[in-house]
Amino acid sequence: MSTSAPPAALTIAGSDSGGGAGIQADLKTFAALGIWGTSVVTAVTAQNTREVLGVSMVPEAIVTLQIKAVLEDFPIRAIKTGMLGSAGMIRTVAKVIPPSIPLVLDPVMVATSGSRLLDEDATAVLLCTLIPRATVVTPNIPEALILSGMKHITTIPEMKEAGRTILDLGPDYVVVTGGHLPGDEAVDILVGPDTEMMLKSPKYPYQVHGSGCCFSAAMAGYLAHDCSVDLAFSKAKGFMDGAIQGAVVSKSGHYSVRPG
């Protein structure tokens, strides 16, 4: 008996052995949204909610084969990138993924625990390869500081300024997520050539591992459902509120996002 296939999306990211971020969080998010999740692993990390103990990068040739294998057999309707790790990996991914498929780029640079997940020399390559062809770039405030070159982002107007500055790098849209902003509300801002949209939600009194991965995967999932970018942003914001509200607590007392 055959059934109609759900929409398919692809995540290209690192594996999180703790299950709270990276490929694992992305696939959980896709499943919760009724998306057939496919994956390309760029790195294997030994990590939990407290720290990253080690990282082993997957050879770029194997990453290329993973992408080709997925694209040859699945009608991918959206791609999300997460941890890419190095300049060579960024170039590899940029070379292989089709420009016709919507791309949500989560510029993963530093883990919630503080461990660096992107080589410092890779930022310039990200700026001139993947970011200009992205449908949506989803930096948090520390990432937005790096991408925009701003010295500080502590207010909503500065979030908007950062978003506009990153938009000038070439993506169609930018979402600056404001969980790091002081205050009682989590403010996220979408900017586009003719768009500015701000959404707020309650800020919970704990930091949540994997929230950036989950949000960008939700954006990709809704785009795979043929939502417009602004509708995908609105839906992803609501999805994230539930995922953070229902976060899972580890033995160390740290929280991980729980999609669905």
Q: Can you say how many angstroms the Cα of residue 97 is from the centroid of all Cα atoms in its chain?
A: 16
Domains of the chain, start order: 8-256 (3.40.1190.20)
2-16 per-position pLDDT tens digit? 567 899 999 999 999
208-233 per-position pLDDT tens digit? 888 999 999 999 999 999 999 999 99
pTM of the model: 0.94
Mean of pLDDT values over 118-144 = 90
Q: Helix, strand, coil % (nearest 5) of the chain?
A: 40, 25, 35
Least-confidence region, from 33-37, 42-46, 173-177, 246-250: 246-250
Least-confidence region, from 21-35, 118-132, 147-161, 235-249: 118-132
pLDDT at 117: 61
Q: How confident is the model at residue 247 (pLDDT cuts 50, 70, 90)?
A: confident
Q: How confident is the model at residue 112 (pLDDT cuts 50, 70, 90)?
A: low
DSSP 140: B
The C-alpha atoms of residue 66 and residue 3 are separated, in whole angstroms, by: 26
Per the prediction, the chain carries an average pLDDT of 92
Q: What percent of the chain has pLDDT over 70?
A: 95
